[in-house]
Amino acid sequence: MAIPDEILAPPSIDLPNYGLDILYEDEHLIAFNKPCWMLSVQGRLPENQDSIAHRMELYCGVAHVVHRIDCATSGVLLFTKTKEAQREINRQFRDRETDKEYVALGYGHSVLTRGEMHLPLIKDWPNRPKQKIDLIGGKKSITQYEVLEQSNQQVRMRLIPITGRSHQLRLHMRALGLPIIGDRLYSPEHVAKASARMHLHALHLSFTHPIERTPISISAACPF
């Protein structure tokens, strides 16, 4: 199995808008199409300073975090420009009033067409940053899934995370017997090395505008 693609790197910070792909912007909110292999928020080490949050600060002087997606995942990533908007969006995420949709490409074959996965997750402390399934001590983790198409040992899935645990979609796909192509943490070596990117994309995010109270829907086209 091989999925040809180029070696991927974040866009240059010297591009217009600091290389940010802006999907939506107003005086309170801004949403980006995050490329894979770019951090949502900068880390502590010098080599982990480049991130969407850092570039947003350069672009508009502020970056209030409301959620994150994994470095290897691409797609819709939302920030706020004000503390007031941040508090309300955080509440919507906490109270599960947002709708999120992902697309993943898994390796294998599925006899199921759709369903709902209930497998609790917990930090795998000896193997950080990994998480693991723990039926006794894990936190409730729920994902709705639907097979969109499959052929040649590749299954395209629609994933709706009901909860938002770290690495939830990656572990639930593996539990379905469909490890995500390009996932270097959880997929077998031949599946992890089949692509230069992880085939998991945040396709869609819907929520209520924190100030205007109008419905907002933001999408980023799937690159695979």
Q: How far apart are CA 69 and CA 66, in angstroms?
A: 11
Decide if 11 is inside a domain: no
Which of 14, 26, 50, 70 is flagged as catalytic? 70
Q: What confidence tens digit (pLDDT) does each residue in 71-100 have?
A: 999 999 999 999 999 999 999 999 999 999
What is the per-residue DSSP string for 6-32? PPP-PPPTTSGGGG--EEEE-SSEEEE
pTM here is: 0.93
Q: Give the model confidence (pLDDT) of 27-56 as tens digits.
A: 999 999 999 999 999 888 877 889 999 999
Q: Is 60 part of any domain?
A: yes
pLDDT in tens, 141-195: 999 999 999 999 999 999 999 999 999 999 999 999 999 999 999 999 999 999 9
Residue 43 falls inside a structural domain = yes
Number of structural domains (the chain) is 1
Range of the domain at 29: 16-219
- 88 domain-assigned: yes
The residue written with tokens 């007031």 in the block is 84
In a domain, residue 4? The reply is no
Is 2 domain-assigned? no
- Which CATH number goes with the domain that contains 108? 3.30.2350.10
Q: Is residue 10 part of a domain?
A: no
Asked about 70 being catalytic, the answer comes back as yes
Query: Is 5 part of any domain?
Result: no
